[in-house]
Chains A and B, each alone.
Chain A
Amino acid sequence: MASLRQFKPEESWQAPEGEPIVRIENVTKRFGTFYAVDDISLQIHQGEFFSLLGASGCGKTTLLRMLAGFETPTSGRLFIDGQDVTDVPPYARPVNMMFQSYALFPHMNVADNIAFGLKQERMPKAERRERVAEMLSLVQIEALASRKPHQLSGGQRQRVALARALARHPKILLLDEPLGALDKKLREQTQFELVNIQERLGITFIVVTHDQEEAMTMSSRIALMHEGRIEQVDPPRRLYEFPSTRYAASFIGSVNLFDGYVLQQDDDQVLVQCDDAETRLLVRHSQPLVPGMAVTVALRPEKMRVLGQLDADTPNQLRGRIKEIAYLGDVSIYHVELPGGKRVQFTQSNVQALAEQPLTWDEEVVLGWSANSCGVLTE
């Protein structure tokens, strides 16, 4: 998955100095007996493109709506730019929201929609007109200023919604599934534009999405949510390469999981006995672990290489028989059955167009990978 942001491979996100622009402290939201958001604490910094990622019902939208002021936390506090906004009504918060349905006022034209928020803060007419023009050109819809929402296409409506939410120059822009209603092609193109606009304006974006690819491509950091709690908060690359829980590992991309227990640990390498793979796996892991502790080894399908034969230089090796092949164009996915019956998945790029299928059904293969290519999950 390609990130639109230019991070060096080893660079990971560092919290800047000073007060974060959003501070969420032990926030819980309960509907009856259902905990939509369960004791979440989180800090988001100025200029971030922060994503709340998760399956539907994980609480991400509720958290966003609490930031906007449409829901009040059952307990906990919310701070925006150092100010406690927990009990501040939505119309008095320095944040604006782009709604999933866009919520364009059907009885106003595009320019009036964009000017709506400016009128509320009693901006002088001349300045207002200037700001509206600026916004129209920012999202490149100058020609549509006098259209009514029902005369716009889906992509155009999305732009109006974005322009309207940005017009007041909010400290934070909240985006609820901003690309959810667009088709795939338009979505990819709009991802770039959103990132460009965010970098140009320097406004903090907080995006709710269920689409992992969207979160990966656009975000500086992602909070993966599950059942009202945060599973993991990390930049996209760390989240993918070093998931900290089984849920995080399997939610983003595909993963092979091997259950086992710790045999021994020296320096930053752990030896794990995996019974379902009938082998021992060497994994890089710097946190101290206790021998005998139950752990899971997570391995991405693309990290495995096909070895001609068993090879003493590769620490981790598995032998199995190919049972399924799925050709996806750019890559092929292979399902390999291990002697014990467990299946693992690996992918291979299809480098040459006319090459004969290098691997075929029922072929026996040896797969290998280094200790750096997999991780240990303790949860």
Chain B
Amino acid sequence: MKQRMPLLITILLLGYAFLYGPIISLIVYSFNESRLVTVWGGFSTKWYAELMQNSQLLGAAWLSVRVAALTATIAVVLGTLAALALVRFRRFRGRGSLEVMVTAPLVMPEVIIGLSLLLLFVAMETTIGWPAGRGMTTIVIAHTTFAMAYVTVVVQSRLAHMDMSLEEAALDLGARPLKVFFTITLPIIAPALVAGWLLAFTLSLDDLVVASFVSGPGATTLPMVVYSSIRLGVSPEINALATIIVAIVSVAVLITGLLLWRQEKRKTERLP
């Protein structure tokens, strides 16, 4: 085992270089005075300043954040229900179809999800008059539909690893089922709910294809703006935006990682 360690370390180093090289290049060039990628024109923060003045981009970002927050919240509720159904109820009518319907969106190409939902919304509008026009509501519905599948997977694995006798103990001690759910089950699966929420938020914030299909004239999300400016050519403002996103994500991940690590350490220390 020992003599293979250098090989494994090399593989990991190469792999991480591949993953992080492009992101690092974005960060570096976001501080480049020059518009050209190959030319280093000196350190500058002017692209950040321009980004802050781009009202179209900022407006789209605000819409995206609102859509993502709403999506994540609904997806956590629906995904948790689906996970509860799949883990706790062994047999019920529609189990097979529910299983398929929560797995399929994980791999379903976005173009299909986007187009099919658009056709549904158009048909619904002509028959029942809702949703009237397309915009934030339709984007939230569409995003929730694929994001809840991810939440289900995350919550499902946490529920499956939860000791069932914890709930039984609470029932035995006189708590009614609803109370058991809120005082025992929910706090224990809370980390999975948080992880699921963040995942759904990111997926929604990141989505270009589905939003392009189901959004209307007034609702342009951040990825739609980014996409059209990328199509026009390399724009250093996008570098600045990328750097900000990477910074936010790294800080968030670092904090959760640190918390997880400390929790893990506390646990192992106390064990006999």
Residue positions of A touching B, CB distance < 8 A: 68-70, 89-93, 95-97, 99-101, 103, 105-107, 116-117, 120-121, 150-154, 164-165, 168
Interface pair B173/A70, CB less than 8 Å apart: no
B169 at the binding interface (Cβ < 8 Å): yes
Give the docked Cα–Cα distance between A164 and B172 (Å).
Answer: 11
B interface secondary structure, majority: helix
Give the docked Cα–Cα distance between A168 and B173 (Å).
Answer: 8
B2 at the binding interface (Cβ < 8 Å): no
Q: Which of A116, A151, A165 contacts B175 (CB 8 A)?
A: A116
Given contacts A68-B168, A97-B168, A165-B173, 5 further A-B contacts (CB under 8 A): A69-B171, A97-B172, A101-B165, A105-B170, A153-B272
Question: Which B-chain residue is minimally distant from A147 (CB atoms)?
Answer: B270
30 residue pairs from A and B, CB less than 8 Å apart: A69-B171, A69-B172, A91-B172, A92-B174, A96-B172, A97-B169, A97-B172, A99-B165, A99-B169, A101-B165, A103-B165, A103-B168, A103-B169, A105-B170, A105-B188, A106-B166, A106-B188, A116-B170, A117-B173, A120-B174, A120-B179, A121-B174, A150-B270, A150-B271, A151-B270, A152-B270, A153-B272, A164-B173, A165-B173, A168-B174
Most buried by B among A68, A96, A150, A164: A150
Give the docked Cα–Cα distance between A152 and B188 (Å).
Answer: 18
Which chain A positions have C-beta within 8 A of B179? 120
Q: How large is the interface on B (under 10, 10 to 19, 20 to 34, 35 or more residues)?
A: 20 to 34
B4 at the binding interface (Cβ < 8 Å): no
Interface pair A105/B166, CB less than 8 Å apart: yes
Give the docked Cα–Cα distance between A222 and B34 (Å).
Answer: 87
**Considering the complex, which residues of chain B in the window 160-203 have a beta carbon less than 8 Å from any beta carbon of chain A?**
163, 165-166, 168-177, 179, 183-184, 187-188
Which chain B positions have C-beta within 8 A of A164? 169, 173
Q: Which of A68, A97, A103 contacts B166 (CB 8 A)?
A: A103
Which chain A positions have C-beta within 8 A of B172? 68-70, 90-91, 93, 95-97, 165
Question: Which A-chain residue is minimally distant from B272 (CB atoms)?
Answer: A153
Question: Which A-chain residue is minimally distant from B165 (CB atoms)?
Answer: A103
Known: A103-B163, A154-B272. A120 touches B168 (CB 8 A): no
B267 at the binding interface (Cβ < 8 Å): yes
Question: Which A-chain residue is minimally distant from B179 (CB atoms)?
Answer: A120
Interface pair B171/A91, CB less than 8 Å apart: yes
Question: Which B-chain residue is minimally distant from A94 (CB atoms)?
Answer: B174
CB distance from A169 to the nearest CB of B (A): 12
CB distance from A328 to the nearest CB of B (A): 30
Question: Which B-chain residue is minimally distant from A157 (CB atoms)?
Answer: B272
Give the docked Cα–Cα distance between A90 and B166 (Å).
Answer: 13
Which chain A positions have C-beta within 8 A of B183? 116
Give the docked Cα–Cα distance between A168 and B272 (Å).
Answer: 30
Give the docked Cα–Cα distance between A212 and B183 (Å).
Answer: 38
Give the docked Cα–Cα distance between A165 and B170 (Å).
Answer: 10
How many contacts between A and B, using CB within 8 angstroms? 71
Which chain A positions have C-beta within 8 A of B175? 91, 116, 120
Q: Which of A91, A92, A107 contacts B188 (CB 8 A)?
A: A107
Question: Which A-chain residue is minimally distant from B169 (CB atoms)?
Answer: A103
Most buried by B among A92, A106, A164: A106
Residue-by-residue, is B241-272 near A (CB-CB < 8 Å gives 1, otherwise 0)?
Answer: 00000000000000000000000001100111
CB distance from A180 to the nearest CB of B (A): 13
Which chain B positions have C-beta within 8 A of A68? 168, 172
Which chain A positions have C-beta within 8 A of B166? 103, 105-106
Interface pair A99/B272, CB less than 8 Å apart: no
Interface pair A150/B267, CB less than 8 Å apart: yes
CB distance from B259 to the nearest CB of A (A): 15
Give the docked Cα–Cα distance between A120 and B172 (Å).
Answer: 10
Give the docked Cα–Cα distance between A116 and B177 (Å).
Answer: 14
Which chain B positions have C-beta within 8 A of A165? 172-173
Known: A116-B173, A120-B175. A99 touches B188 (CB 8 A): no
Interface pair A96/B267, CB less than 8 Å apart: no
Give the docked Cα–Cα distance between A42 and B266 (Å).
Answer: 48
CB distance from A166 to the nearest CB of B (A): 11
CB distance from B133 to the nearest CB of A (A): 45
CB distance from B216 to the nearest CB of A (A): 44
Which chain B positions have C-beta within 8 A of A153? 272
Give the docked Cα–Cα distance between A150 and B163 (Å).
Answer: 14
Which chain B positions have C-beta within 8 A of A100? 165
Question: Which A-chain residue is minimally distant from B167 (CB atoms)?
Answer: A103
Which chain B positions have C-beta within 8 A of A121? 174
Give the docked Cα–Cα distance between A121 and B188 (Å).
Answer: 23
Which chain B positions have C-beta within 8 A of A99? 165, 168-169
CB distance from B169 to the nearest CB of A (A): 4
Give the docked Cα–Cα distance between A101 and B164 (Å).
Answer: 10
Give the docked Cα–Cα distance between A97 and B168 (Å).
Answer: 9
Q: Which of B174, B187, B188 contacts A117 (CB 8 A)?
A: B174
Interface pair B174/A91, CB less than 8 Å apart: yes
Which chain A positions have C-beta within 8 A of B272? 153-154
CB distance from A108 to the nearest CB of B (A): 9
Most buried by A among B168, B172, B270: B172
Give the docked Cα–Cα distance between A95 and B173 (Å).
Answer: 9
Give the docked Cα–Cα distance between A107 and B190 (Å).
Answer: 11
CB distance from A253 to the nearest CB of B (A): 32
Interface pair A96/B168, CB less than 8 Å apart: no
Give the docked Cα–Cα distance between A165 and B171 (Å).
Answer: 12
CB distance from B90 to the nearest CB of A (A): 11
